[in-house]
Amino acid sequence: MTTEENILALLPYTPPFRFVDRIDEVREEYIRGSFYLEPELEFYKGHFPEHPLTPGVILTEIMVQVGLASFGIYLAGATQPARSFPFALTATEVNFLRPVYPGDTVSVLATKEYFRFGKLKCRVVMTNSKNELVCEGRIAGIRINDHEAA
């Protein structure tokens, strides 16, 4: 398995709450990943039923799952299944710049600002399939010890 496949296997999420399809690239300074927003996703039924739109909280969650969860797994060198998930979200600051519709694929680039003392902070940028900037901001999290996550 590649590093990218290992990260996906260690994510502590399953459908319908897993919002990472692919990890395209991961290095010490950044990670790139993507998610396809299937038109049949349950939240579209109630979020503007006549004109479905992806909720900002879902876009934020996609950024967190790529930029904090997946990146945290890589940076922490995690090798255990989801039970020893290494990071919990502590802060978000996101600016939403354009709508995202059902059937689109969004890509996330998270660049490490710092990773020290059990804390990870990243600058995140999300683009749609037309490579248009959708949202951007910062996310942060803290490492959870195995005994604390149990």
Residues with active-site annotation: 47
Taking alpha carbons only, the member of 56, 76, 73 closest to residue 12 is: 73
Whole-angstrom distance, CA of residue 129 vs CA of residue 112: 23
Find the helix or strand (DSSP H, E) in which 95 lies: strand 87-96
- CA R_g for the chain: 15
Take residue 48 and report the two structure tokens written for it. 């503007």
Do 74 and 65 meet the contact criterion of CB atoms below 8 Å apart? no
